[in-house]
């Protein structure tokens, strides 16, 4: 049975706490963009995706490509809590000989469907998997979680054209629209708005929702699954650093180092 | 050399063909044998050698448009889902424009994607420097886990294509659009990573690949008239380099020339120099290639002459390393005499 929205919110809180603990322990990593992604990942892994944590390479599983690879802490915490590996392993994030590399490595971490790192590359990978799935008559779906700043990369739009041209309705892109990137606001650096219109003119089905509302997220993903002949992009309006008041909407928390004091303060906010 | 099944280029009319065509035949052979192959091109099927494949197996062909980066990324996804993928575009677009995707997605994931640089080297001819790829071998060679192959002719190109499909991890193969001499036959051995000795000799060795193998064989013939025995080795695989054959050539002949249709920086010459500089036998080496510059427009043959890549250029490089070898031997003899006294 699928967890209730209340249960999903509780899981998301646990995952957020894990993310902060990992970042404190590692002494580096990306807080803001990890925290903004947590509800999306929790909705997907607990409420939407068909996966078997005990068989990470089960052929019929739904796949996720983490194109915004800097949100690795959020994905690792979600995978650990979902049962792919021991939660204790999260403390090894970014450390020597860890299976939890700074950016996802499919050969080291159970549950990672594609190695990623360089921005803007995930959607092409998702498209390739989707094409193979269609050729082989397989029913699984492919999710691609992207950052909004990532849309500055030209390859994203190449992949956007490819997915629409080949009618890859088994692809669902999710944009973590937190409106911030490393150096500041997306609209100040190079404006992305109107983002919905951009994807619509690329012949995608577009859904825009509150990316921290798990009910809206699961509804958006089931709408995406019902759309035929067109890929869907879910534009998830989020807050960078969500859940930790001093991090929220602060570009410097893209990758600022967490201190013990700030960690304690953040954990209190997520108690 | 009958046992290698080579064409006798000195006594018969040498046929020519673009190695792109051998690529095309290799792809068709793979599909005919039932390989779950997907061939991708980025709007260059007309010249790259994939149009014949497209005609025969339209369901297995995917033209991605002028999206080289997306092509490589999509290939990664297809490979992740178990497909045998060949991606095709100009050498400089494959190795250059899509380099980061090849690095961060294909190589980092050790994916089974075969990247085919068509119209490479100087073979884009009239298109000139911006479209010729002289550095593709060097930039592909630095990538962890990447196999790099430069076939010598269309026959070897077909074999390399078929062999690449069975090689785990990423492979880069360079093909030429220009007609180049056919010097191997269907029975000539070809194994990725194993160089072939195509002519014996003990005075010096020429390590080469691509169209330069033909020039090297002609150079060896020229030098034979001077009483010099030159070993000619087909190093079609630059990575992994056949270190055993390279070391043996160094030990047994003591003077090496490398010859390639590409930059003198980081290609076959670089690979051989790296290997030998770290071996117990430092050996005089001369790297024949194009020295730190772009190409320019012209017929392929004219360009080979213009950039000093003909048999006479290889022959003079051999004479140069031989004179360095002799002066080293002279020094060794003097040192030995000093030790005795």
CA distance linking residue A51 with residue A91, whole number of Å: 24
Query: By C-alpha distance, which of A132, A50, A143 is closest to B77?
Result: A132
pLDDT tens-digit profile of B112-128?
999 999 999 999 999 99
- What is the domain count for chain A? 1
Nearest by CB to residue A127, choosing from B74, B82, B101, is: B74
- The residue written with tokens 């961060």 in the block is B104
Q: How far is A123 from chain B (nearest CA, A)?
A: 8
User: In B, what residues contact A, Cβ < 8 A?
Assistant: 62, 64-65, 67, 69-70, 72-83, 100-101, 103-105, 108-110
Contacts of A170 in chain B (CB under 8 A): none
Mark yes or no for CB contact B70/A113 under 8 Å. Answer: no
Q: With an 8 Å Cβ cutoff, are A125 and B83 in contact?
A: no
Q: Which of residues 104-143 of A touch B (CB under 8 A)?
A: 105-107, 113-118, 121, 123-133, 135-136
Question: Shortest CB distance from A129 goes to which of B65, B81, B103?
Answer: B81
Among partner residues A107, A133, A162, which is closest to B110 by beta-carbon distance?
A107
Compare CB distances from B109 to A106, A135, A162 and report the shortest one's residue. Answer: A106
Decide: A149 and A217 in contact? Cβ < 8 Å: no
Show the beta-strand stretches assigned E in B203-334: 204-208, 230-234, 237-239, 256-263, 285-290
Mean pLDDT of B57-77: 97
CATH number assigned to the domain comprising residue A66: 3.40.50.970
Tokens of A49: 């995706």
Domains identified in chain B and CATH numbers: 2-6+15-181 (3.40.50.970), 196-330 (3.40.50.920)
> What is the residue range of A239's domain?
5-269
Per residue, the 3-state secondary structure of B148-200, as one string, reads EECCCCHHHHHHHHHHHHCCCCCEEEECCCCEEECCCCCCCCCECCECEEEEC
Q: What is the pLDDT of residues A28-79, one digit of tens each?
A: 999 999 999 999 999 999 999 999 999 999 999 999 999 999 999 999 999 9
According to the model, what pLDDT value does residue B45 have?
Answer: 87
What was the pLDDT predicted at B53? 96
Whether chain B has a CB inside 8 Å of the CB on A269: the answer is no
Q: Do A125 and B77 touch (CB under 8 A)?
A: yes
Q: What is the pLDDT of residues B90-116, one digit of tens each?
A: 999 999 999 999 999 999 999 999 999
Please tell me which residue in B68, B135, B156, B260 is annotated as part of the active site. B68
Arithmetic mean of pLDDT, A139-165: 97
Q: In B, which residues are within 8 Å of A121 by CB distance?
A: 69, 73, 101, 104-105
Which DSSP letter does residue B82 get?
T
Q: Which of B1, B309, B5 is nearest to B156 (CA)?
A: B5
Element (H, E) at A19: helix A5-26
pLDDT in the model for residue A12: 98
Chain A residues whose beta carbon lies within 8 Å of the beta carbon of residue B78: 128-129, 131-132
* Other beta carbons within 10 Å of B49: 30
Q: What pLDDT is recorded for position A118?
A: 94
**Beta pairing class for B237-239 and B256-263:** unpaired
| Residues on chain A touching B100 (C-beta within 8 angstroms) | 118
Instruction: Quote the CA–CA distance of A172 and A189 in Å, as a whole number.
Output: 27
User: Which of A128, A161, A162 to probe the B interface (max B CBs under 10 A)?
Assistant: A128
Among B70, B75, B103, beta carbon nearest to A155: B70
B340: pLDDT strictly greater than 80? no
CB contact A155 to B (< 8 Å): yes
**Quick check: is B15 catalytic?**
no
Confidence of residue A219 (pLDDT cuts 50, 70, 90): very high
Q: Does the distance separating the beta carbons of A114 and B77 come in below 8 Å?
A: yes
> What separation in angstroms does the CA of B227 have from each of A33, B10, B200, B203, B224?
71, 17, 14, 10, 5
Residue B90: φ, ψ to 5°: -55, 145
B69–A129 CB contact, under 8 Å = no
Percent with pLDDT over 90 in chain A: 97
**Which pLDDT score, from 0 to 100, does residue A221 have?**
98
Please give the torsion angle defined by the CA atoms of residues B326, B327, B328 and B334, in that order, rounded to the nearest 10 degrees. 110
Determine the average pLDDT of the residues in B262-275: 97
* A154 close contact with B: CB closer than 8 A: yes
Residue of A nearest to B59 (CA): A135
Task: Please indicate whether, in this complex, the C-beta atoms of B108 and A114 are within 8 angstroms of each other.
Answer: no
Out of A115, A129, A132, closest to residue B108 by CB: A115
**To the nearest whole percent, how much of chain B has pLDDT over 70?**
99
For A233-254, how does the pLDDT look when each residue is reduced to its tens digit (9 = 90+)? 999 999 999 999 999 999 899 8
Do B105 and A113 make contact, defined as CB atoms within 8 angstroms? no
pLDDT tens across B198-256, in order?
999 999 999 999 999 999 999 999 999 999 999 999 999 999 999 999 999 999 999 99
Q: How far is B106 from chain A (nearest CA, A)?
A: 9
- Write the DSSP string, B289-310: EE-SS---SS-HHHHHHHTT-S
Contact B100 A118 (CB under 8 A): yes
The answer to whether the CB atoms of A154 and B83 lie below 8 A apart is: no
State the average pLDDT over residues B48-61. 94
CB atoms within 10 A of CB B46: 10
Query: Which pLDDT does position A18 carry in this prediction?
Result: 98
- CA nearest B75 in A: which residue? A128
Is pLDDT at A133 greater than 80 in this prediction? Answer: yes
Q: Cβ separation of B104 and A116 shorter than 8 Å? A: yes
User: Is the Cβ of A100 closer than 8 Å to some Cβ of chain B?
Assistant: no
Query: End-to-end alpha-carbon separation of chain A, Å?
Result: 27
pLDDT band at B282 (very low <50, low <70, confident <90, very high): confident
Per-residue confidence (pLDDT) for residue A229, from 0 to 100:
98
Count other C-beta atoms under 10 Å from residue B151's C-beta. 30
Chain A closest-CA separation from residue B61 CA (Å): 12
CA atoms of A21 and A144, how far apart (whole Å): 26
Tell me the shortest Cα–Cα distance from A94 to chain B, in angstroms. Answer: 17
Q: Which residues of A touch B105 (CB under 8 A)?
A: 114-116, 118, 121, 124-125
> A216 and chain B: CB distance < 8 Å anywhere?
no
Contact A128 B81 (CB under 8 A): yes
Query: Which of A124, A132, A136 is closest, CB to CB, to B70?
Result: A124
Confidence bin at B2 (pLDDT 50/70/90): very low
Nearest beta carbon to residue A125 from set B64, B80, B83? B80
pLDDT at A1: 67
């Amino acid at each position: 049975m699928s967890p209730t929205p209340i249960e999903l919110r509780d899981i998301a809180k646990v995952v957020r706490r894990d993310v902060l603990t990992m970042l404190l322990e590692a002494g580096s990593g990306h807080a803001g963009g990890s925290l903004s992604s947590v509800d999306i990942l929790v909705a997907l892994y607990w409420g939407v995706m068909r996966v078997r944590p005990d068989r990470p390479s089960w052929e019929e599983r739904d796949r996720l490509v983490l194109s915004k690879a800097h949100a690795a802490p959020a994905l690792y915490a979600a995978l650990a809590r979902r049962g792919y590996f021991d939660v204790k392993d999260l403390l090894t994030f970014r450390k020597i000989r860890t299976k939890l590399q700074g950016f996802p490595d499919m050969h080291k971490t159970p549950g990672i469907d594609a190695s990623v790192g360089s921005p803007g590359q995930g959607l092409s990978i998702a498209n390739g998997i989707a094409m193979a799935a269609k050729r082989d008559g397989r029913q699984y779906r492919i999710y691609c979680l992207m950052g909004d700043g990532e849309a500055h990369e030209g390859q994203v739009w190449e992949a956007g054209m490819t997915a629409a041209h080949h009618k890859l309705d088994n692809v669902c892109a999710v944009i973590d629209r937190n409106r911030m990137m490393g150096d500041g606001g997306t609209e100040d650096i190079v404006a992305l708005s109107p983002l919905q219109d951009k994807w619509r003119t690329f012949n995608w089905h577009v859904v825009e929702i509150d990316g921290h509302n798990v009910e809206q997220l699961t509804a958006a993903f089931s709408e995406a699954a019902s759309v035929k002949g067109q890929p869907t992009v879910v534009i998830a309006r989020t807050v960078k650093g969500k859940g930790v008041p001093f991090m929220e909407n602060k570009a410097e928390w893209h990758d600022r180092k967490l201190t013990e004091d700030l960690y304690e303060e953040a954990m209190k906010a997520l108690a | 050399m009958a046992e290698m099944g080579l064409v006798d280029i000195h006594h018969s009319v040498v046929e020519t063909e673009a190695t792109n065509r051998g690529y095309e035949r290799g792809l068709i052979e793979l599909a005919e044998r039932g390989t779950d192959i997907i061939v991708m091109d980025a709007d260059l099927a007309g010249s790259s050698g994939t149009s014949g494949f497209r005609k025969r197996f339209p369901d297995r062909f995917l033209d991605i448009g002028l999206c080289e980066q997306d092509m490589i990324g999509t290939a990664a996804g297809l490979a992740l889902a178990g497909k045998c993928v060949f991606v095709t575009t100009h050498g400089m677009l494959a190795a250059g424009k899509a380099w980061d995707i090849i690095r961060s997605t294909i190589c980092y994931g050790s994916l089974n994607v075969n990247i085919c640089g068509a119209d490479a080297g100087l073979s884009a001819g009239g298109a000139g420097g911006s479209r010729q790829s002289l550095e593709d071998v060097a930039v592909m060679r630095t990538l962890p886990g990447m196999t790099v192959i430069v076939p010598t002719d269309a026959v070897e190109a077909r074999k390399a294509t078929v062999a690449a499909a069975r090689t785990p991890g990423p492979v880069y193969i360079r093909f030429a659009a220009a007609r180049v001499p056919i010097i191997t036959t269907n029975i000539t051995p070809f194994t990725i990573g194993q160089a072939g000795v195509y002519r014996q000799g003990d005075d010096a060795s020429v390590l080469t690949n691509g169209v330069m193998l033909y020039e090297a064989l002609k150079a060896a013939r020229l030098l034979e008239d001077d009483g010099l025995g030159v070993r000619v080795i087909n190093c079609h695989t630059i990575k992994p380099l056949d270190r055993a054959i390279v070391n043996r050539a160094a030990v047994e002949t003591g003077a090496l020339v490398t010859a390639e249709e590409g930059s003198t920086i980081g290609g076959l010459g670089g690979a051989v120099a790296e290997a030998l500089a770290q071996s117990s036998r430092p050996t005089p080496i001369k790297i024949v290639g194009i020295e730190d510059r772009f190409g320019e427009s012209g017929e392929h043959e004219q360009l080979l002459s213009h950039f000093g890549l003909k048999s006479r250029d290889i022959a003079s490089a051999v004479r140069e390393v031989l004179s360095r070898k002799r002066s080293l031997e002279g020094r060794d003899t003097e040192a030995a005499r000093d030790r005795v006294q």
